[in-house]
Structure 1
């Protein structure tokens, strides 16, 4: 909200001491029962321990982020930054403006060997650091915030936890957010500070101010080189926290199973309502709404904007406008995922024949994509590189395009697969076949190339396998019967000790099985 809006006469409300006293009185006592320890707390403690070990003697600042204005005085629904959620276990819309600080203690504050076996806060999970969560706790009913603050007040947005509540739930020290500025600046000239800059600009600015004031105090020059070095240190922290999420623990894997289960239900609800989507017009929006209903009911909502692309819209890879009609004979490419309350998200694509059966040309495209996906999934095993998944799938794509006579004259499969002088197949399959999946739909995105594309697959990784073929309606190099059809098949795959598990395997994939799936649901037996 702008300052002008805050001062607007339309927002003025009469307030007296008598009125304040009246509002603050006559309430039943609050419950003093504390919440049970969260089931994710010990897992979050282990994650913090890994961070602590990587950055001994350094103050580490991980903000949740703040509320963002959508329009005028309304905010978007809050979602905490993924690094914050991963290290605290807080998901859903908790806790806006909070900041997790790993504070070095004992000998580790001097950059030496950690002098403690665990957090002072009691979770036993971060040797060398105390985990402290600065947040905005529940305000008293005698405060102006309780009744008068429409952004944070309990009367307007509901009650928040107390400091004692969060300490009981998470097993770490909690403090009021008002203490953060002084705490982050304390001894700033004597120990390094790193911050996840992209999570909250205001918190990053507070850290920069503390650094600058500490440098001034000792007469150190604050030139561009020093500032660049500090920002590079921040980037190293962000990259480490991103890479830390690459191997999922058992709790995270269970959350992913729940997200996939909810996504499966959402897809079946969409299939059941396809006739209604056709009948009403603007059917892509109808599909988007149906899936969103199931996503919001099962978990926190959708993990990303759903792609509900019918007909030629399927050939626009990031089609999220969803403004089109759905017509008989179309293919509907539905790329959607449920985000559960912990913020872990599925990411699944199915390409559905709107009329219930594929045409001959549609089936030819679909079967080629399915064969490519099978090759990609077969490459999902420990010891292989992440890039091997794409290489296996794209070879099958290239083989089909060559067989269909679509590659330029003189270009065979090997020639188009040449990464420097080929790549002609990318006209019809431009994107990568796989990405890591978890708290973010494109998880671990700040990991280095060596940690990601060139890295070996390891048990506990969850990633997508999602080849496709896209023939735009105006593509004169494509066979006429292919034009206006786009197909992608995407599943979520867990790397295991001896191979992989397709976590979304319960959702039919072959052309025959997809047709039978639709028929079963339409007959009322699904």
Structure 2
């Protein structure tokens, strides 16, 4: 991402603001891990989207002016040689101007002086409602209200910035698409490396290390979310995070992991046999899920919706569950769907938006019926999970879990599967693992 990309993001927001509006965008803050130790800082997604600035505690302001000369202001931590010895270099006011394109820049200590001036005689203020910055805005509003007899007007309308900004984030431009392709490429290769290393006798935590170290070695900033590395029946826990079990011969691995590159996430799930060969029952459930997943990826088109895709996923998975002996083969698919019998084995939706956040922002519409548009990126991730203690399931299927997830870009025509170069069919997985482990 370049400075031009961030400038375009700001221009997009300013274009949707009314003349006289002021947008106030707070950065993220350091979060305490324990005692006096902080988690590694990750910038607030909205703030980074508009500024590219990654120092904590900062504040950005966009002013839509009647003159037509809109302004971008940054309030940043001051240069501080003593602190920079401990925490690393800061951009300071000069860097905010020269490196990040601010029209005006101030140290953080100037916020309480400058913001009331910026708020004077504005009709509307946009900021993330409910965020801590709201308390300061209210204080500044009261200060302005005390000066009403001097002809100073305080803003009368306060709007949630996210209602506008998150719609912009939902549609990716070419620069963002390129970054997401890179995140997907790094993540897919990490999954392949796990397939090589994940032999019986290894462990979930070893594979977690393999995956996440590869992310970093290839330039990813961090994991996009907590990696799920689940062997055997652990895969039946949708958000399994322990990642500390030994891998046994005959296990399948379900791994859900993605890298974050320049603030954009990938999100991939693979399922494969630890010993390199699917057992008969494993192959049956894997191929049942794969058939559904591949069909739904092809259906990701402009004009479709999560509602339409999930309805199709439920229908196909319900029929597959009947074929596997999990649901009554004599019942109609419609009756099983109406009774929600499928939810015993498929309890989540088909996917979600993907972008700066792994579960990215933007409206899904009522009942998730918003239609897809070119530039949107989403996941397709059907699954079947059979609890080990489910005595109604065929014994050979108990404890098996399969989820298959790809990242898909909506285009003007056929969908672009960003993670399509992973081995997906059972035959391709077995062939890849045999060759890579030879």
If the length of structure 1 is used for normalisation, what is the TM-score?
0.77
Alpha-carbon distance in structure 2 between the residues aligned to 1:197 and 1:361: 51
The Cα shift of 1:69 comes to 1.1
Alpha-carbon distance in structure 2 between the residues aligned to 1:319 and 1:208: 42
Aligned length: 430
Write the deviation string for residues 301-332 of structure 1: whole angstroms up to 9, x where unpaired: 11000000111110000001212221111011
Q: 1:104 and 1:183, CA in 2 relative to 1: closer, same or farther beyond 3 A?
A: farther
Q: Is the 8 A contact 1:268 1:521 kept in 2?
A: no
The Cα shift of 1:65 comes to 1.3
The Cα shift of 1:70 comes to 1.0
Q: Within the alignment, does 1:508 sit opposite 2:423 as a pair?
A: yes
Q: Within the alignment, does 1:186 sit opposite 2:103 as a pair?
A: no
Q: Within the alignment, does 1:85 sit opposite 2:6 as a pair?
A: no
Q: 1:327 maps to which residue?
A: 248
Q: Is the 8 A contact 1:309 1:319 kept in 2?
A: yes
Q: 1:493 maps to which residue?
A: 408
Write the deviation string for residues 416-456 of structure 1: whole angstroms up to 9, x where unpaired: 334xxx321111010111111010000015x2625x92211
Larger Cα-atom Rg? 1
- Find the partner of 2:293 among 327, 352, 373: 373
Q: Is the 8 A contact 2:303 2:373 kept in 1?
A: yes
The Cα shift of 1:513 comes to 0.9
- Find the partner of 1:297 among 200, 217, 228: 217
Q: 1:459 maps to which residue?
A: 374
Q: 2:152 maps to which residue?
A: none
- Find the partner of 1:156 among 79, 86, 106: 86
Q: Within the alignment, does 1:42 sit opposite 2:21 as a pair?
A: no
> Matched residue of 2:226: which SS?
coil
Q: 1:168 and 1:187, CA in 2 relative to 1: closer, same or farther beyond 3 A?
A: closer
Matches within 5 A, 1:136-155: 136-139=77-80, 146-147=81-82, 153-155=83-85
The Cα shift of 1:187 comes to 5.5
Q: Which runs of 5+ in 1 are unaligned?
A: 1-38, 108-114, 119-128, 140-145, 148-152, 220-226
Q: Is the 8 A contact 1:189 1:215 kept in 2?
A: no
Alpha-carbon distance in structure 1 between the residues aligned to 2:282 and 2:46: 42
Matches within 5 A, 1:120-519: 129-139=70-80, 146-147=81-82, 153-173=83-103, 174-186=105-117, 188=119, 190-191=121-122, 192-197=124-129, 201=132, 203-218=133-148, 233-234=158-159, 236-275=160-199, 278-279=200-201, 283-298=203-218, 299-340=220-261, 342-407=262-327, 411-418=331-338, 422-444=339-361, 447=363, 449-450=365-366, 453-519=368-434
Q: Is the 8 A contact 1:63 1:97 kept in 2?
A: yes
Q: CA RMSD in A?
A: 2.2
Alpha-carbon distance in structure 1 between the residues aligned to 2:189 and 2:36: 35
Alpha-carbon distance in structure 2 between the residues aligned to 1:270 and 1:187: 53
> Matched residue of 2:347: which SS?
coil
Q: Is the 8 A contact 1:59 1:101 kept in 2?
A: yes
Q: 1:297 and 1:461, CA in 2 relative to 1: closer, same or farther beyond 3 A?
A: same
Q: Is the 8 A contact 1:379 1:388 kept in 2?
A: no
The Cα shift of 1:409 comes to 7.9
Q: Is the 8 A contact 1:350 1:488 kept in 2?
A: yes
